[in-house]
Amino acid sequence: MEIQREAFWQCEAERTLQLGLTEGFLFSPLKTSCQIYITTENTDVFRAAHTCRKCPQLSCAMRHEEPLEIRIVTEEGEEGQTIVYETGTVWEAIREKAEGNSFPCGGSGRCGKCGIQVLQGELPVSREDKQKFTQAELEQGWRLDCRAKLVESITIKLGWQKETKIRAVAGFSQAAVTEAMPEEKVISQKQREEYGFAIDLGTTTLAIQLISLRDGRCLDTYTGLNGQRDYGADVIARIQASLQGEREALQKRILRDLWTGMERLRERGGLPYEALKRIVLVGNTTMLHLLLAYPCDGLGCVPFQPYYTGKIQMAAAKLFPELPREAKLLILPGISAFVGADIVSGLYALKLYKQKENCLLIDLGTNGEMVLGNREGFLAASVAAGPAFEGGNIRWGTGSIPGAISGAHFEQGALTVETIQNQPPVGICGTGVLELTEALLKGGIIDETGRIGEDWFDTGYPVAVSREGQRICLTQADIREIQLAKAAVRAGIQALLERSGLTEQQLHRVYIAGGFGYYLDAEKAIAIGMFPPVFSGKIQAVGNSALRGAAGLLLHPEEMAEAEMAAGAAREIELSTDTVFQNTFMEAMLFS
């Protein structure tokens, strides 16, 4: 009312408009209205073609945003999907629709891997765009979709390398399933037509095997990506996403991925639903919490208390309603918040809880989980190796897909690289990052501190040229990522040895599990200091030991008690407060 009075006086409304104003600041005649307009320094706000999407007044009560369209053009230039956009970022709009994408930073704009090229329409340049793209690339329409908010309908081409075809989980052939079944065990005739699924649910990938319960044969194998990677490459990012209200979405995503894999195997095998009897599933503690929609509060802060780590036996239909009620889902027990059922499954598969000799099992992935001991008991630990071993947080990093650089050699002053399936280079996978680091260290491009030569400090060392003519480089930041990862593994090993009262020489065997570990060149890993030199000749790659254990328990569910025994025999060491770990970690950062 006071503003109306001020407007009345400023406009001299009594003289110019013959209006009156009562003592209560009401106009006369009645129903006269006074419009108040607020001016700003932004002269573009008021115009005839004004749209709310371009207006900076986000709190305006009159704000209204009409749905827009995102038209996606394929790599071949053909019209693809059209997605309706209402609010949020372009990344949020398309991540549900565009399969095979990889967003290691969870949409924070740090990794720079979600590039899109705008072919038609306007898309403002963000601060992160300027950091990740050159001026020429910005002029060509390149933007980060996780930072992009539409102001009008656009046509785009996806710039990321789709990771829909990853290298199969190796080291686990069809014969390996039957090896997990002792010869004296005989499958009954009643199970002649019955089958089951063994599943390893990883942070980055998932592996499923279709196994005959009649004779233990692996009938088929499926490998795919964990779609939760849209929310971040590591477990910390997933935990944060769950705590920020995405728990249901995370569960929905992984259930969809698992169902896709099981359905594909079932259809290829021509098997009926009714013949499915059991599913045995393993994974790290965080992945199982997300699968079962457990609260993740305890996983994200000290003292890191999981909601539940015991074994689970339930009707599979509770998670997958399409399955028969008789089908059972068995989930192995874990050890702690960061040493999960996948490690317990590996202990069961390798029967380490029966061995007299001291053995070390290391699962090299986003989390470096390791267990040291023998039949007398185990010490377990988990190191935050980060996603570098799987191509995460690497500028040109990618999964183990065709064309990923997986090997490197530096001879006579020249660098040569190898790619998966000898396809044209598309990026660098985990083993490629490690081998490139070793090769450049050997060639004197990198010094023992990890610093790259001045000529390549800003731009990165060129290792290949992509099919599109882009330079694939290994950057200084990439080298720091592999330094952190290898130092964490080395320090974790040393801490376990110290706590066990053992020396490196007293280890009988070192088992390296996981896809990265299977393709790892152990001698090159030793050369960069990931493992001590005395490990040479003791390292054995065992492939996906977690999946092998799941397959064994699928055939012999009565042996679940042995898996529980293995889990119960392990005691975790908290490395965050371990002085041996901290001191060794700093030393292990050096390439020496």
**Burial of 107 by CB count in 10 Å (0-12 exposed, 13-18 middle, 19+ buried)?**
buried
pLDDT band at 166 (very low <50, low <70, confident <90, very high): low
Coil/strand/helix, residue 144: strand
**Does some domain include residue 580?**
no
The answer to whether residue 167 sits within a structural domain is no
Q: Distance between terminal CA atoms of the chain?
A: 77
Q: Is the pLDDT of residue 9 over 80?
A: yes
Residue found under tokens 């499915």: 276
The answer to whether residues 140 and 219 belong to one domain is no
Domain edge (last residue) among 446, 474, 502? 474
- Please answer whether residues 205 and 399 qualify as being in contact, where contact means their C-beta atoms are separated by less than 8 angstroms: yes
pLDDT of residue 98: 58
Tokens 């705590």: give the residue.
Answer: 243
**pLDDT value of position 391:** 75
Q: Which residue range is the domain that position 26 belongs to?
A: 2-52
pLDDT at 174: 37
Q: Note whether 295 and 323 are same-domain residues.
A: yes
Average pLDDT over every residue of 455-463 = 93
pLDDT of 67 higher than 90: no
Residue with more model confidence, 365 or 377: 377
Average pLDDT over residues 525-551: 95
Q: Are 241 and 106 in contact (CB under 8 A)?
A: yes
Write down the pLDDT at residue 369: 93
| pLDDT above 70: percentage of residues in the chain | 89
Span of 71-85, 280-294, 436-450 with lowest mean pLDDT: 71-85
pLDDT higher than 70, residue 47: no
Do residues 116 and 206 both lie within one domain?
A: no
Same structural domain, 183 and 326 = yes
Q: Which of 442, 474, 506 is the last residue of a domain?
A: 474
Task: Looking at the structure, tell me whether residues 144 and 234 fall in a common domain.
Answer: no
Please check whether residue 138 is in contact with residue 176, taking contact to mean a CB–CB distance below 8 angstroms: no
**175 vs 377, higher pLDDT:** 377
The reported pLDDT for the residue numbered 185 is 36
Distance of CA 18 to the CA centre of its chain: 71
Is residue 284 within 8 A of residue 203, CB to CB? The reply is yes
Query: Per the domain annotation, does 362 fall within a domain?
Result: no
CA distance 279 to 198: 6
Are residue 48 and residue 113 in the same domain, yes or no? no
CA torsion sign for 297, 246, 383, 374 is: positive
Per-residue pLDDT tens digits for 541-585: 999 999 999 999 999 999 999 999 999 999 999 888 899 999 999
What is the three-class DSSP state of 492?
helix
The 68-73 sheet, strands edge to edge: 79-85, 68-73, 154-158, 115-120, 142-144
Calculate mean pLDDT across residues 489-510: 96
- The set of residues, in sequence order, having a beta carbon less than 8 Å from that of 377 and lying 6+ positions away, is 569, 570, 571
Q: Are residues 321 and 195 in the same domain?
A: yes
Q: pLDDT at residue 45 above 70?
A: no
pLDDT-based confidence at residue 104 (cuts at 50, 70, 90)? low
Residue 301, pLDDT score: 85
Q: Check whether 176 has a pLDDT greater than 80.
A: no
Task: Identify any residues that bridge with 539 across adjacent strands, giving them in sequence order.
Answer: 510
Does a structural domain hold residue 27? yes
- Inform me whether the pLDDT recorded for 442 exceeds 80: yes
Q: Are residues 313 and 413 in the same domain?
A: no
The CATH number that applies at residue 274 is 3.30.420.480
> Which segment of 113-117, 241-245, 385-389 scores lowest on mean pLDDT?
385-389
| Position 276 in a domain | yes
Confidence of residue 306 (pLDDT cuts 50, 70, 90): very high
Rounded Cα distance, 122 and 9, in Å? 45
Residue 366: pLDDT above 80? no
Tell me whether residue 400 is in a domain.
yes
Q: Considering only 31-45, 258-272, 332-346, 399-413, which range has the smallest mean pLDDT?
A: 31-45
Q: What is the pLDDT, as a whole number, of residue 158?
A: 81
Which of 384, 487, 381 minimizes the C-alpha distance to 434? 487
Residue 240: inside a domain: yes
- Structural domains of the chain, count: 4
Judgement on whether residues 40 and 79 belong to the same structural domain of the protein: no
For residue range 121-152, what is the model confidence (pLDDT) as tens digits? 989 899 888 888 888 889 989 898 888 888 88
The per-residue pLDDT for 230 is 81
Residue 183 pLDDT grade (very low, low, confident, very high; cuts 50, 70, 90): very low
Residues sharing a CB contact under 8 Å with residue 23, sequence separation 6 or more, in sequence order? none
**Distance of alpha carbon 417 from alpha carbon 384, whole angstroms:** 28
User: 362 — phi, psi (to 5°)?
Assistant: -125, 125
Same domain for 125 and 245, yes or no, is no
Q: What is the DSSP letter of 398?
A: -
pLDDT at 50: 65
Flag whether 44 is in a domain. yes
Summary mean pLDDT of the chain: 86
Res. 102 pLDDT band, cuts 50 70 90: low
Element (H, E) at 278: strand 276-283
- CATH number of the domain where residue 92 is located: 3.10.20.30
- Based on the domain organization, do 332 and 446 belong to the same domain? no
- Residues 54-81 have a mean pLDDT of 76
Q: How far apart are CA 203 and CA 226, in angstroms?
A: 7
